[in-house]
Structure 1
Amino acid sequence: MFNKKTLFIASAILICSAVLFLGLSNQKVDDGDTGRAKEETVISRLAYLGYLDYAVDDRYTDRGGVTVYVRDKTWEGLNLFILRGTNKAVLMLNNGTVAYQWNTPENSSWGHIHLLPGQKIAAMSSKAESIAVFDKNSEKVYETYGPYHHDIYFTGDGFITIRNHMVEKMRHTIVDNEFVFFNDIFIEQYNISIFDLLVDSGEFDAEDIFSADTADIRNRGESTVVDLMNDFLHTNSIDMYQQDSTLFNEGDILSCVRNLDLIFVFDPGTRRIKWMWGQGILDRPHTPRILENGNILVFDNGMHRNYSRVVEVDPVTDEIVWEYLSDPPEAFHTTTMGSAQRLPNGNTLIVESNRGRVFEVTKDKELVWEYITKKNAEGQQRTIYRMEKVSI
């Protein structure tokens, strides 16, 4: 239960934020790639601005770097990541040695990176302001400006990402999220509204969406509460089917609407949702990923239950077939961010973002690798939005 002081602080934050948003509502951002000047409000970036750059507690600050490494049980890939809010992306060996590093401009602040062919990377601003592509020498190749956030998917001949967009729906002003489809030089081809996808599915009406809880609990649910106003459709991931499966077809897209506790698959051609799952089961989930066996792996944050877990669901039966929990469960928790990746040897790489911790477990849930971000000169420990293991 939150005390009066906590609620007063939260209210003050909300009021100050609203004043700031109104004051900056006419800020213009130039889209250099398309030559268009877009008028964007700071409120349209809410879905990404809430994430933390520094760890929420000192649980792991007494150590840093690779702290567990069971060589014969880990998968020997390269660990791709960026410390949130910094400008250096790295490929790291399992022993902690940096094998490769991209040094982008000093004033850069990235939240998420994606490895591209030819040792290029796509980097998303930690403030949801732009996406940039850098070559292997850290030279900028392209940059597009706009409130893009959370994820970027490379299709082979273009990119898909998520963008916030303020719209009027049924007398409500909301932050709609939309999937944006670019060609390979970031010229927009088309977009798909997530609000329209959900309403057109017949499973949701507008009032279902408007009633979603948009409160965002920080600091492991213990203190700060921020209401991300009208951010009902907080969408945080993109994955695409590369071949037909029992329920889905090549080109179908898997995504997640956090504040509805929902993961879903849709056909971008017909704009029809084929499958959805999670309500009443998941609690503010992130980063569902398609597995080779046809199942789906999802990071279940547990914002309200105060512990996180990773679950594997069979979309044919809607049953959970594998689950990772800590012992005790509360020992593993990140209220926001977080991700999980199934590795080729059957292990699972898990990112406990708000504590700056990444770890790998076997199918039997044995801990075989752990990395913890190191404290900086000020004694602060950076968070990691995601880490991905890639083939050597």
Structure 2
Amino acid sequence: MLKNLSFCYFLKFLLVFAAVNFIQSCSKDDSPKVDTETSIEDVPIPEEPEEEPSFMPVGSVEVFLDDKVDDNYILVNDAASNQVYLMDKEARLLHEWSLTNNIGNDVFLLPNGQLLASLEADDPQIKLGGKGGKLQLIGPNGAVEWDYLYSSMDRETHHDAELLPNGNIIAMVWTKHSAEEALQSGFMFETDVFVESIIEIDPNTDEIVWEWHSWDHIVQDHDSTKNNYGNIADHPERIDVNYVPMSNASTESDGDIMHANGIAYDKLNDAILLSVNFFSEVWVIDHSTSTEEASTSSGGNYGKGGDLIYRFGNPETYKNTFGERQFYNNHFPNLLKGMDLGKLLIFSNGFNIEQSTVYELELPSEYDLKPDRDNELNILWSYTNPDLYSGKISGAVTLPNGNVLITEGDFGFWEVTREKEVVWKFSAEGFFWRGYSYAKDAPEIKLLGL
């Protein structure tokens, strides 16, 4: 019995041994030869191919607080490359418009899907910074639906324009006055001057239906034998024609003695706000007047004709010793709406310290300009940063989530919270006039097919 069992075990052993040898033999035949002198670390591991980006960004984006970034669109005005385009917060190009002429500075999107563009004429006649001469309305498909030329040796549109509730368009204009006329009006140098005017155009007829001229409202204390002589401090409603050359201690002037750069319409008070860069202030003008009244000091809702009904930013311009100067050159008087009605955002370039500041200001309950009184506005909020500085252009707008989008002209854009946190930045090669925010579901965005 034991012998039989032993024999059985022996047979089983032989069968198992044969099977193992057969398997190993097959395994050796099917496997590649391995170099036993090469360690496993030396065997190259194939790299996974990098995922190609789905788009080419138009600039560089930095995200600092992703959960606080407003996820809507920005209309970009790049005056350096004469580009106007819509992008998202990843710097994805969503839509770009072809322009017939160079940017004269401002281009923005209207609720009906049209662009209102301030452009350079084919041959601008007054070649100062921000030159223009042409206004256009451009449809969503890029077609020019209105083309208005206002360019001559004596008058030319420049910088900025605004659509009024009645469908008319107000635009800033340089008006030339000869050296002889300037001298007789009390200007301190015998040179041609270019001063600010405003025109209102009916785009249906191309008729100028209203206009205002700063030259009708000047004062000077330089020469008592010339026109417009008076005590400047007693007349804050008038514009010191010699402020710019006097403040710069100049011995001569190139004639650009005001250099306005932005316009806004206050619907609540039927008034126009004009950002005047060389004066470092904002002028407020009564729009309720007739053109005839606007050339005088009477008439209109305020009874002052075309005289300034308010001004703020720099009391030094009218020799007011009350109030603290707020601006050192300024851009974009942005009147806020909705819950923020009665407030204004403005960009102070800050030439005095080479650092810019964005201010949110509270407009007065009534435009009531007085001499020997603090007429400066209450600062509700401000933002500055050692890295924020643009000597030219720039501005700020509010965003749907409450943040503020700042255009730094020679850099790009900043998004900051009301708590002054930087949450997002965009930078690119360019010269950025302004950036406008549009909600993704805004009517003008839908009309673009986005």
Change (3 A) 1:198 1:363: farther
**1:253 paired to 2:312:** no
**1:125 paired to 2:180:** no
Gaps of 5+ in 1: 1-62, 217-224, 244-248, 374-380
Shift in Å at residue 228 of structure 1?
A: 6.7
**1:203 paired to 2:236:** yes
Q: Within 2, Cα distance between the matches of 1:228 and 1:81?
A: 34
Shift in Å at residue 325 of structure 1?
A: 1.0
1:85 and 1:110 in contact (8 A); partners too: no
Shift in Å at residue 358 of structure 1?
A: 0.9
The secondary structure found in structure 1 opposite 2:329 is coil
**1:80 paired to 2:75:** yes
The secondary structure found in structure 1 opposite 2:106 is strand
Tell me the residue number matched to 1:93.
Answer: 88
Tell me the residue number matched to 1:285.
Answer: 330
1:264 and 1:273 in contact (8 A); partners too: yes
Name which one, 1 or 2, has greater alpha-carbon Rg: 2
Given candidates 142, 145, 162, the residue that maps to 1:141 is 145
1:214 and 1:230 in contact (8 A); partners too: no
Tell me the residue number matched to 2:201.
Answer: 182
Q: Deviations over 1:93-115 (max 9, x none)?
A: 1221222221234x644532121
Tell me the residue number matched to 2:7.
Answer: none
Greater percentage in strand: 1
Tell me the residue number matched to 2:60.
Answer: 65
Change (3 A) 1:228 1:287: farther
Q: Deviations over 1:7-54 (max 9, x none)?
A: xxxxxxxxxxxxxxxxxxxxxxxxxxxxxxxxxxxxxxxxxxxxxxxx
Shift in Å at residue 125 of structure 1?
A: 2.1
Shift in Å at residue 194 of structure 1?
A: 2.6
Change (3 A) 1:215 1:70: farther
1:86 and 1:110 in contact (8 A); partners too: no
1:151 and 1:161 in contact (8 A); partners too: yes
**1:159 paired to 2:169:** yes
**1:262 paired to 2:289:** no
Q: Which amino acid is the alignment partner of residue 352 of structure 1?
A: E
State TM-score, norm by structure 1: 0.70
Q: Deviations over 1:121-144 (max 9, x none)?
A: 122225423122221111122222
Q: Which amino acid is the alignment partner of residue 124 of structure 1?
A: S
Tell me the residue number matched to 2:348.
Answer: 300
Q: Within 1, Cα distance between the matches of 2:113 and 2:253?
A: 36
Q: Which amino acid is the alignment partner of residue 274 of structure 1?
A: I
Tell me the residue number matched to 2:390.
Answer: 334
Tell me the residue number matched to 2:29.
Answer: none
Change (3 A) 1:198 1:80: farther
Tell me the residue number matched to 2:379.
Answer: 320
Q: Within 1, Cα distance between the matches of 2:74 and 2:401?
A: 15
Change (3 A) 1:364 1:228: farther
Change (3 A) 1:183 1:301: same
Q: Which amino acid is the alignment partner of residue 381 of structure 2?
A: W
The secondary structure found in structure 1 opposite 2:112 is helix
Given candidates 283, 308, 311, the residue that maps to 1:276 is 311
Tell me the residue number matched to 2:437.
Answer: 389
Tell me the residue number matched to 1:150.
Answer: 159
The secondary structure found in structure 2 opposite 1:212 is helix
Once the two structures are overlaid, the 10-residue window that deviates more, 151-160 or 269-278, is: 269-278
The count of corresponding residues between Structure 1 and Structure 2 is 302
Change (3 A) 1:336 1:139: same
